[in-house]
Structure 1
Amino acid sequence: MTMVTASEAAAEIEKLLGLHPKGFDLSLDRITRLLAALGDPHLKLPPVIHVAGTNGKGSVTAFCRAILEAEGLGVHVHTSPHLVNWHERYRLAVKGERGALVGDAVLADAVRRVAEANGGEKITVFEILTAVTFLLFSEHPADVAIIEVGLGGRFDATNVIPRPAVSVIMPISLDHQAYLGDRVELIAAEKAGIMKRGAPVVIGYQSEEAARDVLVETAERLGCPHAVYGQDFMAHEEFGRLVYQDEFGLADLPLPRLPGRHQYANAAATIRAVKAAGLAVSERALEQGLARVEWPGRLQRLTDGALLRLAPRGSEIWVDGGHNPGAGQVIAETMANFEEREPRPLFLVTGMINTKEPVGYFEPFGGLAERVFTVPIRGSDAGLDPVALAADAARAGLEAEPLSTVADAFAEIARITEEDDVPPRILIGGSLYLVGDVLADNGTPPA
């Protein structure tokens, strides 16, 4: 992804990318060896909220952070991948304030120390970066650490945490089939691997009954106290408010700041997870957290920046890195809700990498999007050719055209939009890599 500033830390990571594979090699042996050489920093963390899932885990991470910080707690946050800068993966706690992305010199020093401890042994860069997470989080004080799983669960490098305060598993659908299996129950079994015997588990909304059954059966087998969305807790909209309910009672809360009705279930899972972790939060903190939450690159509206000047005047521009059929479904539903409230012609500007299911992503936009413009993923060998991606969109019943850049797509949308037409709604998405490039080009990287 594009770097927008010179960075000592990025230079150190680039060195590692030349020595070690960038991809995934699912095993815990290498990360365990490396952490032992570092003095086992993963055993020196504050209480951990460990979050997995095909979709929604990033939203839950963002909700958790917002609510706990509103309570005045210091919160470390690990997410992946980053959108623009490597530093986004590591947010360090600031007691009584919002956490801050790790400073460049601090990150560069941590990367060097981890690389030195590894001693040139075979390892993936993701494993090194995960070890950096544990090192940083063990050396800086915090009340809570929120750690998002990278891929799967059972063999993900984050899954060396011996007993999290709570494990959270969000909606599961088909993704990364080459690594996790081609059926949702197989993927669910991999995600369930983050459960630890006797530790609390929260199971978010699952559209697939087979996935939910696997998760519940695993929790029961491991003796994990567990709460299941729709059974033990739930949330719905009522009179413009979010009503949350569990065995402890009801809470009347503001609707989440993150757009989309799917965020109601994500917020509910977060609230239940915070309770399951034994963290006492006030209703005031819940209200402030839901109202302040931010999650860059996920249904994020661009309101300023360089790219906006290329689109027709008055355009509504959104970016979202969702890239699998489940994500396509909830994003399309959100766009349909926007259309009900404020009708605008919808255009998609889409790029994807070759491990995804483009047709399944595009299908929910049938009858909703006027046209799709497919673009390459800049600087990625894994990016799908825009011609092939346009053919996938056509197979999903959409009119599609391949182009060379996002700027070209904006120019084409401007060309076909008459001056007196309703300004369009433009959704740029299909890949976090594409969204990262767009945020960099727009001059609005996450902070």
Structure 2
Amino acid sequence: MDFGRSDDPRVQAQLDRLGALSVPQGRLGLETIRALMERLGNPHRKLPPVFHVAGTNGKGSVCAFLRAMLEADGKRVHVTTSPHLVRYNERIRVAGKLIEDGPLAELLEEVLDASEQGGEDLAPSFFEVTIASAFLAFSRTPADACVVEVGLGGRFDATNVLEPEALAACGIAALGIDHERFLLAPEEGVPEEPMARIAFEKAGIAKRGVPLVTMGYHYPQEAEREIEKASKRSGAHHFPLGDANCGESWHCDDMNAELFYRESIHDELFLPAPAIPGEHQIFNAGLAIAMIRSQTNVRVGEAAFALGLRKARWPARMQLLSKGPLTVLVSDEKVWLDGGHNPSAGEAIAEAIVGPLHLVIGMLDNKNPWALLDPLGDRVRTLQVVPVPDHDCHPAHAFGEDAVAREDLEDALLNVPSDGFPILIAGSLYLAGEALRLNDEIPD
């Protein structure tokens, strides 16, 4: 796991403490994060209205759209997302700005000290400390809304310490098979079919009386059924993606390079296409719009949806890299960057880039090496494999006989033919972070 590095010695001292935490093996439940919240004065009960987002793919993009739309309406917005790409600070955005090193060091120290106080060490995980730090920061700075991304799953994720009173709306983005070791671990009383189980875990964020906005018919039927069960069981107000003429649902589509959004025949929006590339972003943007419109805690004007769609940015998700120290190594070819690593992400990438391409890939050894290659089919003109810095990753031969090993990203780009076809760097968010660092495009 990447616990992060910092040039600030105060932050690095706390990141070293984070790095020393043991990763909980087999520990499930919210008892530890609740105990930690109690020691900190329960900051999760003192937050502005929260938009809580789960999903396998796209949840980060949904959070980016939510933030952009809320800020376009003049709102001050707290955001916590994961993982970070270059700096740990990216995980905590306070009232619109990434947390600065000084306050970050103080927060981490306070939370880590609280976890050890009274001679009883709670032994929290890296993510539990991170979420506790984010909620503590958010509780101390005035804002109009919070956007909170689930880290892993939903039911037992540290962010699920949030209670109904804190929530404006919950959302579930696209679903797929990922993190099987955790999300498909054997357990009594849960669905056995894999996609149903994934949906069950994600829908664990549903809360009584809180809108639960979902992708509806875009899910496999077994997943859609499981989410419907969860919404009824929890008492949430389910608001799924549905047919354009269905009541109690939302609908969106790509219409002549615009985003068409409808809740009823009398409630339609014609909006600009999202600034984040990819056809799937239409539905991620639609989910964000539906989450905002489904609730009454935070009022947002119609104009903010259009402005937010134009301004939303999400690094390393079909990002076209600027000219910099890394991209200057190739001629005029476009260099795209995406952190996707599972089959669903591979399908989205294949839809976003049309035609042949050169692929530079690095993938952790616990991921399927063909997750991206299969959707791209015969469109890959050259395939170069690079290591993911500081992580165990697949060797070149895992990607087939045409794959060539390269020392690093610079070495790979220097060996791409100058034939005008685009270049895609993909396979891992950790590799994406390295590409951004090397190209001097540090997320801010």
- The verdict on a shared fold, with TM-score over 0.5 as the criterion, is yes
Pair 1:239 & 2:224 matched: no
Alignment match, 1:403: 406
1:16 aligned partner, one-letter code: L
Counterparts of 2:377 and 2:169 in 1: how far apart (Å)?
39
> How many angstroms does 1:38 deviate by?
0.5
Question: Which residue is 2:20 aligned to?
Answer: 18
Q: Using the alignment, how far apart are the partners of 1:123 and 1:88 within structure 2?
A: 21
Counterpart of 2:31? 29
Give the match's secondary structure for 2:353: helix
Match of 1:377 in 2: 388
Question: What is the match of residue 84 of structure 2?
Answer: 82
**Contact 2:5/2:15 (CA < 8 Å) preserved in 1?**
no
Give the aligned partner of residue 292 of structure 1.
311
User: Does 1:257 pair with 2:293?
Assistant: no
Give the C-alpha shift of residue 225 in structure 1: 1.3
Q: In the superposition, relative to structure 1, how do residues 146 and 24 fare at CA in structure 2: closer, same or farther (>3 Å)? A: farther
Letter in 1 for 2:271: L
Give distance in 2, aligned partners of 1:446 and 1:176. Answer: 26
Secondary structure of the residue aligned to 2:114 is helix
State the 1:373 CA deviation. Answer: 1.0
Give the 3 Å change call, closer, same or farther, for CA 196–227 of structure 1 in structure 2.
same
Q: Which residue pairs with 1:272 in the alignment?
A: 290
Q: Give the C-alpha shift of residue 106 in structure 1.
A: 0.6
- Partner amino acid, structure 1, of 2:201: E
User: Percentage identity across aligned positions?
Assistant: 40
Structure 2 residue identity aligned to 1:357: N
Could you list the per-position Cα deviations for residues 377-434 of structure 1 after superposition, in whole angstroms to 9, with x for gaps in the alignment?
A: 1111xx323224323xx5xxxx322222111111111xx33xxx3x231111111000
Structure 1 residue ranges without an equivalent (≥5): 94-98, 340-344
Contact persistence 2:396–2:403 (CA under 8 A): no
Give the alignment of 1:146-157 within 5 angstroms: 146-157=147-158
Distance 1:126 1:22, change over 3 A: farther
Query: Could you say what secondary structure the match of 1:165 adopts?
Result: strand
Structure 1: distance between partners of 2:284 and 2:18: 35
Preserved CA contact (<8 Å) 1:51 1:149: yes
CA distance in 2, matches of 1:207, 1:275: 22
In structure 2, how many angstroms separate the alpha carbons of the residues matched to 1:348 and 1:7? 37
Which residue pairs with 2:175 in the alignment? Answer: 172
Q: Post-superposition shift, 1:266?
A: 0.7
Deviates more, 1:61-70 or 1:227-236: 227-236
Cα displacement (A) at 1:23: 8.2
Does structure 2 retain, via aligned residues, the 8 Å contact 1:60–1:266? yes
Does the CA contact (< 8 Å) of 1:47 and 1:144 recur in 2? Answer: yes
| 1:7/1:104 contact within 8 Å kept | no
Asked if 2 retains the 8 angstrom alpha-carbon contact of 1:66 and 1:290, the reply is: yes
Instruction: Give, in whole Å, the separation in 1 of the partners of 2:25 and 2:389.
Output: 18
> CA 1:24/1:252 → structure 2, altered by over 3 Å: closer, same or farther?
farther
Query: Hey, what does 2:190 align to over in structure 1?
Result: none
**SS, match of residue 316 in structure 2:** coil
For residues 239-261 of structure 1, give each alpha carbon's deviation from its aligned partner in whole angstroms, at most 9, with x where no partner exists: 22211111361101111000011
Deviations 1:296-337 (A, max 9, x none): 1111111121101111x101001111111101111111112x
- Please tell me whether the aligned partners of residues 64 and 314 of structure 2 are also in contact (alpha carbons under 8 angstroms): yes
Q: Which moved more, 1:364-373 or 1:251-260?
A: 364-373
Unaligned runs of 5+ in 2: 185-192, 244-248
Report the RMSD for the aligned CA atoms in angstroms: 1.8
Instruction: State the one-letter code of the partner of 2:64.
Output: A
| Distance (Å, rounded) in 2 between the aligned partners of 1:3 and 1:221 | 43
Could you tell me how far 1:25 is from its partner in structure 2?
4.3
Does structure 1 residue 211 correspond to structure 2 residue 202? Answer: no
Residue 11 and residue 148 in structure 1: after superposition, are their counterparts in 2 closer, same or farther (change >3 A)?
same
- In the alignment, does 2:308 pair up with 1:305? no
Contact 2:370-2:399 at 8 Å conserved across structures: no
Which residue, 411, 414, 437 being the options, matches 1:440?
Answer: 437
